[in-house]
Amino acid sequence: MTVFAPWLLHDFAPGEGERQQAHTPELDTAGWLPVAVPGDVHRTLVAAGRLPEPFYDRNEPEADWIQEREWWYRTILTGPQDALAPDERLRLVFDGVDTYATYYLNGEVLGTSQNMFREYAFDVTIKLRPGPNTLAVRLDPPLQHVNLAQVPAWDPEIVKPKVAMRKAQFGYGWDWGPVLPTFGLWRGVKLRRERAARLTGVQFATVTLNATHTFAVVTASVEVERFATDAPLNAEFTLTLPSGEALTRQLTLEAGQTGGEVSFELRDPALWWTHDLGTPALHSLEVRLLLDDQPLDQLSQQVGVRTIHLDQSPDADEPGTRFFRFVLNGLPIFARGANWIPADSFVGTLTRARYEPPIRLAQQGHMNMLRVWGGGVYEHDAFYDLCDELGLLVWQDFMFACAPYPETDELAQEVRAEAEYQVRRLRSHASMALWCGNNENQWIQEMRYLTRATGDLYYAKILPEVVTELDGQVPYWPGSPFGGNDHNSMLDGDRHNWDVWHGQRPIVRQFGDPIGLDRTPEGVSYRNYAVDMGRFISEFGMHAAPALRTLRRVIPEGELYHHSPSMDHHNKDNPKNKGDALMEGTTGLPGDLAEYLLFSQVAQAEGLRFGIEHYRRRMPHCSGALIWQLNDCWPVLSWSVIDSDNVPKAGYWFARRAFAPLLASVKPLEGGGAEIWLTSERREEVRDTLTGRLMDFAGQTLWTRDVDVQMGHGQSFAVLNLAAEELHADGHHYLRLESRGGQFEASTHFFVEIKDLKLPQTLPILEARAQPDGSLSLSVTASQYSYLVHFTSDEVVTFSDNFFDLEAGQSRTVTATHPVRALRPEDVELKMFQARQLQQ
C-alpha cells in the first residue's frame, strides 16, 4: 500500500521536539526539509545547503553537531477508507531505522526501537484513522542512551560507547573511514493490510545432491504467524526451474500449526555454481498462504540448488594442521576474493545501481567470494541478489568488530532478535557460504590480555544457536580470525595477515608471544608473505592512492601533493607515512604527486600479486585469499583495489590476473633459483604446453624452455626447476611465462625490485579509433619492453583492460566506454611506468 505523503525532516535540541509539538497533527511544518526515505540526514542537509560536503577537504568535523541534535521525520499516512474485516489488521513496518527512535501516530506514542539492524513493526489497526494521519519518528542522539559504566574497554583511557549500540560501528571512524555517525530511516517504511495469518519466513535448502549431480532433493519450508485464525491453512509452493518448467507442491497447516515443509526431487538439476566453475543457475520460488482458497500472503525469491560445506579435516600432508576450505556441490574450492565494506558512509543512500559496478568488477576480476565485514551493515537485498546472479559466494559477518562488547541482558535480547531477523532474511540466498560471529574480537582480546573475549556470549552461544535453529545449512564460524593455538594461527582456522602492512613481528606467533613492530622497508616488504603458511587468508593488503580524478573531487587544488594536510586527512591509517616504507623498498620514494599516485599503486599491485600467487601455490593447504579490501565508502587513501568512484587501481588488474582460474607463477628459492608452478581451479582437465623465456629488456631471448603439462581441478605443483646460474637474476632480465594453447595469460617475473630494474622508457604507440557504438578502440604497440602500460581519463571511462606489460613488438587492443556519451580520442591518455630515477 503506497499511502505515504512526502517525508519531512527537522532537528531540535534534545527534548525540544515534543515541547514544540513535533509529533502532533497541529504542527506547522514550514521550514521543514524534504527528505528521502530510504535516506539519510547528512545527505539531506548537504542538499539543503545546511552542511558543507563532508567528504571535501577537512570538512568532516563540520558534521559533528548532527549527532548532538534530535532529528524528526514526519509524513501524512492515509488510512484505508473501507472498514476492516474482523480478522484483518494493519501493521506499520519499518525495515531499518538508525538508531534510537520513538514512533508517534496522531500524537500518541506507538513504541520505540534501538537497533539499526532489524525490522520494527507496530499494530495500528485501532489507532489508524480513515484518511490522513500524522506519523512522526524521533531519532535521539545515540550517546544519551549509553551507560558508560556498562561499556567494557581494552584500554581504560579509550572507552568506545559505540559497542553498546546496535549501530554501524564504522560510522564512528575506522582506519579507512571518516567519523560520520548516521541518522535516518535508512530502509523502507510500509503499511501492510493483513488478514488472519502471515508468512514470517520461507527457507529453501538443498538437502541431497548425489556425487554425479544427476539427482537432488530440495526443501521449501514456511513459518507462519496466526493472529486471527486457528483454522487449517494451505501453503502453495511453485518452484520454477531455469528451463521455465514449474513444479508445484501443496501443504496443509492443520489447526494451530505454524510451520511446515515440502520437498522436490530434481533429476539432472541445474546447479548454482560460482561463475568460474559453471553457471550460477537460479530458480524462482513463490509461496502463497491461503485460507479457504483466499490468498493471505505471498513471498517470492530467487534460489539456487547447491550444497555448501566447510571442510576442517586434518591435513595429512602438513601434520598438526587442518584444512579450512569451502566445498561447493561436493567440489573443494579455493576462495579468491575480497572483503566488502559499506559502499558509502551514508548507507541509506545506496541503491542497486550503486552496488552493481563494484560487484560486477569483482566477478570480472576472477573473484568468487566477498566477505561482508563485521563493522559495517548487513547489506541491502540488492547486494545479495547481485551475488546470487553473478555467481559470488558471500562470507557474512555478524556486526561486531575490533572491540569488547558488553554482555548485558538488554543487549543480548537485541542481538538475538537481530540475528533471527537477519538469518531469516538471508539464509535462502544461493550465495550464502558462511555465518561468522565477528571481526577480530577474540584475536585482539586474547593477543593483548590473555583472557576470554568480552562478547563470547554472542559468538559462542547466541549466534550459533540462532544459525542452527533457523538455518542449519550454511556453516557458522565464531570469528575472523579464529582457530589454533593463537586465534591468528597458521595451523588452523582462518588468518588475517597484517604482519606485512603493519610490520608486526613475529610473523610466526604462539599464544602469549609479545607483539613487536618493524616498519622499515624490509619489515613491510610484501616478500614477507612468503613465510605465511596460513590455511585461509581472510584479510591481507596494502595501501594505494585512488585515481587523480577521484582525488580532485575532495582535495583542494593547492593541496594536491603527497602528505598535504588534506591528503593526510583522507588517509585514516596511522602513522601516515606507513606506505612510504613500502614504496621506498619497491619503487623508491615519489618526488611529486604523479609519482606518488603511480608508485603507491605499483607497490600495492606487486604486493597483492606476490601474496595471491604464494597463497594459491599452497593450495589445498591454503584454500582462500581474500584481499583487504575491495571498495571504499568515501574518496580515501586506503587498501581498496577499487576506489569510491569505481575506478580500478593497478592492484585490481594485477589481482585479476593472479586470480585467474589457471595460473602460472614463479616461486623464488633460497640461493637464487626458482620454480615455475601451475595452479588450476578449472573443473575440466588442463592439457597445455607452458613456455618459459628468459629475456632482456632489449628484446633478446637468452633461452626458452617448454614443458607439457596435464592437471586436474584443485592441483598446484612445480613444473620446472631453474638453477640460479640459469636466471641472470639482475635488473636487466625478466622471465616470461606463456601458454602455447592460450589457456592462461602471459606473465612476467622480475628478479629485483621495480626501483632497481633497468626499464626502457619509450612510450608505446597508441592508435585510438572511434567506434559506431560510441566506444573507443585503443590499440597500443610497444617498440621496447613497456612496464605498467595504462590508460587514464578525467571522464567516467571504463577500460576492458589496464595496467599491463608489453614486450618489444607486442600489441594489445583495449576498449574504452562511457556510460552516456560517445568518446573521443582526446578523452583518453596513455601512460606507463616512468620514474625520474629511471631516466637519470
628 and 696 housed in the same domain? no
Total domains in the fold of the chain: 5
Which domain-ending residue is among 604, 631, 659? 659
Assign residue 52 the CATH number of its domain: 2.60.120.260
Q: Distance between CA 667 and CA 162 in Å, rounded?
A: 45
pLDDT range class, residue 403, cuts 50, 70, 90: very high
**Is the CB of residue 785 less than 8 Å from the CB of residue 805?**
yes
Q: What is the pLDDT of residue 486?
A: 86
Assign residue 603 the CATH number of its domain: 3.20.20.80
Residue 135 has pLDDT above 80, yes or no: yes
| ∠ Cα 323 281 371 (to 5°) | 40
3-class DSSP assignment, residue 628: coil
Q: What is the pLDDT of residue 836?
A: 60
Q: Higher model confidence: residue 545 or residue 452?
A: 545
DSSP one-letter code for 457:
I
Q: Distance between CA 444 and CA 450 in Å, rounded?
A: 9
Mean pLDDT score of the chain: 96
> For the whole model, what pTM was predicted?
0.97
**Is the CB of residue 667 less than 8 Å from the CB of residue 713?**
no
Q: Distance between CA 749 and CA 805 in Å, rounded?
A: 11
Q: Distance between CA 315 and CA 621 in Å, rounded?
A: 7
**Is the CB of residue 739 less than 8 Å from the CB of residue 719?**
no
323 and 263 housed in the same domain? no
188 and 203 housed in the same domain? no
Q: Do the domain assignments include residue 2?
A: no
Residue 774 — φ and ψ, nearest 5°?
95, -10
| ∠ Cα 807 811 813 (to 5°) | 135
Residue type, 241: L
Three-state secondary structure of 793-816 = CCCCCEECCCCEEECCCCEEEEEE
684 and 743 housed in the same domain? yes
- Map grid coordinates 577499487 to a residue: 642
Catalytic residues: 440
351 and 290 housed in the same domain? no
| β-bridge pairing 662-668 and 674-680 | antiparallel
pLDDT range class, residue 835, cuts 50, 70, 90: low
Which domain-ending residue is among 303, 323, 352? 303
749 and 828 housed in the same domain? no
Residue type, 491: L
Those residues whose C-beta lies under 8 Å from the C-beta of residue 80, and which sit 6 or more positions away, are 1, 90, 130, 193
| Tens-digit pLDDT profile for residues 155-210 | 877 778 999 999 999 999 999 999 999 999 999 999 999 999 999 999 999 999 99
Whether the bond between 404 and the residue before it is cis, its omega within 30 degrees of 0, is no
Residue 837 has pLDDT above 60, yes or no: no
Q: Distance between CA 617 and CA 398 in Å, rounded?
A: 31
185 and 229 housed in the same domain? no
Q: Do the domain assignments include residue 457?
A: yes
Q: Do the domain assignments include residue 654?
A: yes
- Map grid coordinates 545546511 to a residue: 50
Residue 44 — φ and ψ, nearest 5°?
-65, -40
Q: Which domain holds residue 14?
A: 8-192
Residue 2 has pLDDT above 70, yes or no: no
Q: Do the domain assignments include residue 476?
A: yes
**Other beta carbons within 10 Å of 632:** 27
Average pLDDT over residues 25-43: 97
Which domain-ending residue is among 713, 729, 756? 756
Three-state secondary structure of 15-40 = CHHHHCCCCCCCCCCCCCEECCCCCC
Of the candidates 741, 674, 669, 749, the residue with the CA atom closest to the CA atom of residue 710 = 741
Say what percent of the chain tops pLDDT 70: 99
536 and 477 housed in the same domain? yes
Q: Do the domain assignments include residue 437?
A: yes
169 and 211 housed in the same domain? no
Those residues whose C-beta lies under 8 Å from the C-beta of residue 452, and which sit 6 or more positions away, are 445, 446
- How far is CA 572 from each of CA 231, 341, 578, rounded to the nearest angstrom? 60, 15, 11
**Other beta carbons within 10 Å of 134:** 19
Of the candidates 341, 371, 326, 331, the residue with the CA atom closest to the CA atom of residue 481 = 371
User: 571-609 burial by CB neighbour count: b if 16+ within 10 A, else e?
Assistant: bbbeeeebbbbbbbbbbbbbeebebbbbbbbbbbbbbbb
3-class DSSP assignment, residue 760: coil
**Is the CB of residue 369 less than 8 Å from the CB of residue 335?**
yes
Assign residue 228 the CATH number of its domain: 2.60.40.10
pLDDT range class, residue 484, cuts 50, 70, 90: confident
Residue type, 664: A
| Tens-digit pLDDT profile for residues 781-812 | 999 999 999 999 999 999 999 999 999 999 99
- Map grid coordinates 559504566 to a residue: 149
Average pLDDT over residues 707-735: 94
Looking at the DSSP bridge assignments, the partners of residue 209 are 216
3-class DSSP assignment, residue 467: helix
**Is the CB of residue 482 less than 8 Å from the CB of residue 443?**
yes
Those residues whose C-beta lies under 8 Å from the C-beta of residue 723, and which sit 6 or more positions away, are 673
Whether the bond between 406 and the residue before it is cis, its omega within 30 degrees of 0, is no
Q: What is the pLDDT of residue 512?
A: 78
Residue 450 has pLDDT above 70, yes or no: no
Q: How many residues are there in the chain?
A: 840
Q: Do the domain assignments include residue 3?
A: no
Q: What is the pLDDT of residue 637?
A: 98
Reading the block at residue 560, the C-alpha cell is 594536491
| Tens-digit pLDDT profile for residues 490-506 | 999 999 999 999 998 88
128 and 277 housed in the same domain? no
3-class DSSP assignment, residue 318: coil
165 and 211 housed in the same domain? no
| Tens-digit pLDDT profile for residues 325-340 | 999 999 999 999 999 9
- How far is CA 764 from each of CA 142, 755, 804, rounded to the nearest angstrom? 57, 21, 12
Residue 407 has pLDDT above 90, yes or no: yes
530 and 613 housed in the same domain? yes
Q: What is the pLDDT of residue 840?
A: 47
Average pLDDT over residues 510-520: 85
